[in-house]
């Protein structure tokens, strides 16, 4: 498994601890739910689950299809975009989203959300290119 794919696995496991840790805090201090809920949800769904799927998908799909991975460079770009995007979104929600006043920092959230979204599009693009054989045939 190439190092950048392994980084996605490690990141996924860290988000599992982080996401369930926030869940535990919310269970113990329900008054924190207003600030932590969205970070909890997205650390677990975009962090733990999605990144585990990215790493397993990038490792397995070329072997299933018999074609080489299209671009390892794109995985590196995706790694930084999705991690910075997710952590930025979570911090924006925790620090800036004031549940009481309804203040929504739309521009900052939008910036990080766009990074996350572009990272996800890269995952889709890279896999489609791999599956259509653009990375070349795998040596038997």
Instruction: In angstroms, give the least distance from the CB of 20 to ligand HEM.
Output: 4
φ, ψ of residue 64 to 5 degrees: the values are: -65, -40
54 is written with which tokens? 């990215």
Question: Residue 67 or residue 97: which is nearer to ligand HEM going by CB?
Answer: 97
- 113 or 131: CB nearest ligand HEM: 113
Residue position matching structure tokens 């008054």? 31
State which of residues 9, 20, 65, 76 lies at the interface with ligand HEM (CB under 6 A): 20
Among 1, 10, 17, 27, which residue sits at the site for ligand HEM (rule: CB under 6 A)?
27
**Residues comprising the chain, all counted:** 140
137 forms beta bridges with 67
Q: How far apart are CA 7 and CA 5, in angstroms?
A: 5
Applying CB under 6 A, which residues contact ligand HEM?
A: 20, 23-24, 26-27, 33, 37-38, 40-42, 44-46, 49, 113, 116-117
């Amino acid at each position: 498994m190439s190092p950048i794919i392994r980084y996605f696995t490690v990141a996924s496991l860290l988000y599992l601890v982080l996401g369930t840790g926030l869940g535990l805090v919310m269970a113990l201090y329900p008054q924190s739910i207003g600030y932590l809920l969205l970070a909890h949800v997205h650390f677990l769904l975009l962090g733990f689950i999605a990144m585990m799927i990215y790493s397993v998908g990038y490792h397995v799909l070329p072997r299933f299809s018999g074609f080489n991975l299209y671009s390892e460079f794109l995985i590196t770009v995706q790694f930084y975009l999705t991690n910075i995007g997710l952590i930025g979104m979570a911090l924006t929600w925790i620090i800036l989203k004031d549940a009481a006043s309804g203040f929504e920092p739309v521009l900052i959230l939008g910036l990080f959300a766009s990074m996350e979204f572009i990272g996800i599009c890269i995952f889709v693009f890279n896999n489609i290119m791999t599956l259509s054989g653009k990375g070349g045939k795998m040596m038997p």
